[in-house]
């Protein structure tokens, strides 16, 4: 991971922390919050602004669905850990 530690990036998601990052020239924002009493992670593509990309997962238990994010093939058909060396973590 560029500008950060991938394990720290993932660890924060277990608490619903917000993360901004770039991958393949696109800016993303991931955050956790509760929907109808269940924890959810939602990933949006912020740039380019005309993108309609969105990914989300709602947990069936009391924990944020971090493993679902880690294992989702949402980065050009690859998972987070397959591309983490190409991801740039940014403040906003």
- Give bridge partners of residue 20 from the DSSP assignment: 29, 90
Per-residue confidence at 85, pLDDT binned at 50, 70, 90?
A: very high
Nearest of 37, 5, 33 to residue 18 by alpha carbon: 33
pLDDT in tens, 53-75: 999 999 999 999 999 999 999 99
Length of the chain: 92
Considering the chain, what is the average pLDDT of its residues?
A: 96
Count CA atoms closer than 13 A to 29's CA, side-chain side: 9
Task: State what percent of residues in the chain have pLDDT above 90.
Answer: 93
């Amino acid at each position: 991971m560029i500008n950060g530690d991938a394990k720290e990036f993932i660890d924060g998601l277990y608490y619903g922390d917000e993360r901004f990052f770039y991958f393949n020239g696109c800016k993303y924002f991931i955050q956790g919050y509760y929907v109808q009493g269940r924890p959810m992670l939602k990933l949006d593509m912020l740039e380019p602004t005309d993108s309609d990309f969105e990914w989300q997962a709602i947990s069936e238990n009391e924990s944020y669905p971090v493993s679902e994010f880690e294992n989702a093939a949402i980065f050009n058909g690859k998972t987070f850990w397959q591309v983490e060396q190409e991801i740039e973590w940014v403040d906003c």
